[in-house]
Amino acid sequence: MVLVNTQLYFKHIASSPTLQKISKLLESDEEVDELLKMSNVMAVTRLRYNDHGVVHAKIVAGTSIELLELLLRRDVEPTALRDGIARNLEEVKAIIFLSSYLHDIGNAVHRNNHEYLGVLIAKDIVDRVLKKSLEVQDKRIFSIRQEVLHSIYASGYDSECLTIECSISKLADGLDMSEGRARIPYKLGKIDMHAVSALSIKKVDIDVGEKPIKVSVYMDDLAGLFQLESVLLPKISGSLIRELVEVYIITQNKTLKFFPK
């Protein structure tokens, strides 16, 4: 089992030359840095919501590549490879990593419609990062860019993923929910069902199981079910990997299989 946290980010950039280049470009990009900071100004400082900044970006990016590797073990073919957009797994990783890292930057403008806003903001960023990190010298770079933008746009609850890559980053977003990091934005300092449920989740592990992806959610009590029903299940249901994921709830007293039904 692998714990969902920032260590996955460093694990995967260390093992991929392409992701090393992309991570350096993103971390040194002044615009990306300020967009992530402003995402938290909007979300945390002004709305009093939970983290939507650089820590969340790194957790989602690292978790996404871990999920990709779990699917590859069971011979699940990435859509970009199937459709000829990507020519190798490094390009697939670039699509997933970039969209995962940038999926929340639209919050720098407003929480409402932030996925749509994120696509508009991300276009030029994705262009310059791809041109510097991939060995692609022709117009195919723009098709790869569109795959990234699709994943950013469809990261919301109401948008259907049309690719495995998008489905991966969407699931990874929902898995960042341990120790109060749940993806339903809840008001910091306010005691309500959102906050109680979020704080009930202590850690999230991912591994292979009967299905390609096994998610284990460790809770203090079953109040954490609210987060799973409101966040994780919609993320899974709106993806192309809904039949490839199983979710287990683990408390001190019992283990429950939560999904699929």
Q: How far is CA 82 from CA 77, 107, 251, in A?
A: 7, 32, 40
Calpha distance 148→166 (Å, rounded)? 8
| Mean of all residue pLDDT scores within the chain | 91
Single-letter amino acid code for the residue at 237:
S
Q: Which of 182, 19, 150, 32 is nearest to 83 (CA)?
A: 150
Greater confidence (22 vs 177) lies with 22
Structure tokens, 152: 């950013």
Calculate mean pLDDT across residues 104-121.
Answer: 96
Rounded-to-integer distance, Cα 134 and Cα 94, Å: 8
Residue 96 has pLDDT above 90, yes or no: yes
Q: How many angstroms separate the Cα of 249 from the Cα of each of 9, 244, 246?
A: 25, 17, 10
Neighbours of 7 (CB within 10 A): 13
| Confidence class for position 48, pLDDT limits 50, 70, 90 | confident
Tell which residue, 43, 196, 25, 212, has the closest CA to residue 126: 25
| Band of residue 85 on the pLDDT scale cut at 50, 70, 90 | very high
Q: Where are the domains of the chain?
A: 2-259
Note the pLDDT of residue 171: 97
26's tokens: 């993103």
pLDDT tens string 226-251: 888 888 889 999 999 999 999 999 99
- At 71, the pLDDT band (50, 70, 90 cuts) reads very high
Inform me whether the pLDDT recorded for 224 exceeds 90: no
Query: What pLDDT does 178 receive?
Result: 84
The confidence band for 135, taking pLDDT boundaries of 50, 70 and 90, is confident
163-172 tens-digit pLDDT: 999 999 999 9
Do residues 144 and 86 make contact, with C-beta atoms less than 8 angstroms apart?
A: yes
- The arithmetic mean of pLDDT across residues 5-10, rounded, is 97
Distances (CA, A) of 258 to 45, 128, 212, 225: 34, 42, 16, 9
